[in-house]
Amino acid sequence: MMVTGGGGKTLSAPLTCSPNPIAFGNVMVTQTSTIQVTCTANVAITKPSPSLASTIFQVGPATFPASVPSGGTFSFPVTLNLTDANLITYENSTGTPLSPGALGGALNLFATAPAGYMQDTVISVSGTAVASQGYLVVNATSVSFGGVFVGGGSPSQSKGWVRLSNLGSTALKFSGYAYQDYYAGMTYVNITSSTVGNGYTSSSFPALGSTLAAGASIVVPLVFSPGETGIHASYLTIWSDNGGYITFSMQGNAQQGTSSTSSAPPSTTSTSSSVTSTIPSTRSTVSTTSTVSTVSTISTVSTVLTVPTSSISTTTSAKPTGPTNLATIGTYSYVGCYTEATVGRALSGLAYANNNMTIEICYAKCSALPGNYSWFGIEFHRECKGFAKIDSDIH
C-alpha cells in the first residue's frame, strides 16, 4: 500500500498483515472468537505495539518483539470478547449495554520505521454479536403525542406507535406489562385492559404469554386521549421471559377546549427521541432503551435491587398479582426504584451477569463473596452489581 503524505511525499506501509481485514462473522453473546494475525515487515522496524479503542475487540495476550528485520514476521491473537464480564466492562465504559448486531473497529499497529514509511498500519476488525436467547428492543425511548383538547374542540386525541423487535436467536415470551405515572409517584400499575398509561390506551397490545419469534417485530398502536387537562407523562415497561425488558415514555399535553376550538394547544417539550403518528407497514432499525434500578438498605446503609422478571405478574386478560419486590432478603430491605447517571455506574464493585437473574441470585452472589457489599442491585434484567458505596448520582 502506498499513501501520500504532506508535500506530496509518498509513504510506504511498514507491515503487511494477514488476515486484513479481520472478520469474525457471527459470535454468540457470552462467547469469544479468536483469530491469529501474522505480520511481515516490509522494512526493518522497532517497537511494534497494537492499539484498539474498543473493549469488545482485544489484542493478546502476546509478547511483541523489540525489533523485526526486513522480511521478518511476528504473530498475535485478536479476540472478539462477548463474555458476560466483558459486556459489563463495555457497559461501564460506554454507559449503555451492547445490542446484538454488527460490530466494527480498527486495530492500529504502531512501529518505528525509517524515513519514507508510515509509522502505523491500520487493520479493520468486524463481527456480529448474536444473542444466545431472546433480546427484546423498542424503536424509541420516548413517544411524543403533542397537544390535544378536552371538553370540546379538535384534536381531541393523538395517535402514535412503537415497534417491538426480538433481536435474539430464539423466541421470547411476553411475561408482564405495567406503567408508571410520572406525576403520581411512579408506582407500577398493572395493565389489565386497554389502558397503558394515564391518558394513554392501546387497542392491540400483545397478549400475556404470547411469543415473538427471533428476528420478528410487531407494531403496538398508542392513543393519547386524556380526560383531564395538564401534562401527561407515563413510562410503560414490557417484560419477557428470556429477552430482558424494555421501558419507554409517553408524553402529551391537554388543555381545556370548547366546541369552537380548532387549533392544537402547545405540545410538551422533550429532548428524547420521538416517533411519527402513522403506523408503518415496514420494519426499521431498532435500538435498546435505558433501564431503571431499584434500591434497598441494610440497617442504616442502602442496597440496590431491581424488579426481577420472576416477581412481575401483569396481564391484559388474566387477574394479575402485580409487580412486587421482596420487602426483605437476608439482612437487606427494599427501598425504591431509581435511575443512575448517564456517565459511569452507580454500583461498580461486584459485577455478575446471568440471563435468569433474580433478586435471590444477586443476593446470594453478593453475600457469599468476601467484601462489604452494603449495596447491591440488578439492572438491564440480567446484571447484578454490588459495592460498599454509591459511585455516582441516582435519582
* Cell triple for 95: 454507559
* Ordered DSSP codes for 13-30: -SEEEESSSEEEEEEETT
Per-residue confidence (pLDDT) for residue 100, from 0 to 100: 86
CA distance 88 to 386: 13
Buried b (16+ CB within 10 A) or exposed e, 34-54: eeebebebbbbbeebebebeb
- 136-256 is classed CATH 2.60.40.10: yes
Q: Where are the domains of the chain?
A: 2-130, 136-256, 293-387
Which CATH superfamily groups domain 2-130?
Immunoglobulins (2.60.40.10)
The CA-atom distances, in angstroms, between 346 and each of 341, 351, 369, 377, 378 are 7, 12, 20, 10, 11
- Phi, then psi, of 3 in degrees rounded to 5: -130, 160
Per-residue confidence (pLDDT) for residue 40, from 0 to 100: 97
In the sheet with 383-387, reading across from the earlier edge strand, the strands are 350-353, 383-387, 375-379
pLDDT tens-place values along the chain, 395 residues long: 444 444 556 789 999 999 999 999 999 888 999 999 999 999 999 999 999 888 899 998 889 999 999 999 999 999 999 987 888 788 777 767 778 889 999 999 999 999 999 999 999 999 999 887 888 888 888 899 989 999 888 888 999 999 999 888 889 999 999 999 988 888 899 998 899 999 999 998 899 999 999 889 999 999 999 999 999 999 999 998 877 788 889 999 999 887 665 555 554 443 333 332 333 333 322 233 333 333 332 222 222 333 333 333 333 333 333 334 567 777 777 776 666 654 455 565 666 676 566 777 777 777 766 556 677 787 766 677 777 665 555 55
CA distance 279 to 223: 12
Per-residue confidence (pLDDT) for residue 232, from 0 to 100: 92
Contact 107, 53 (CB under 8 A): no
SS3 362: helix
Domains 2-130 and 136-256 share a fold: yes
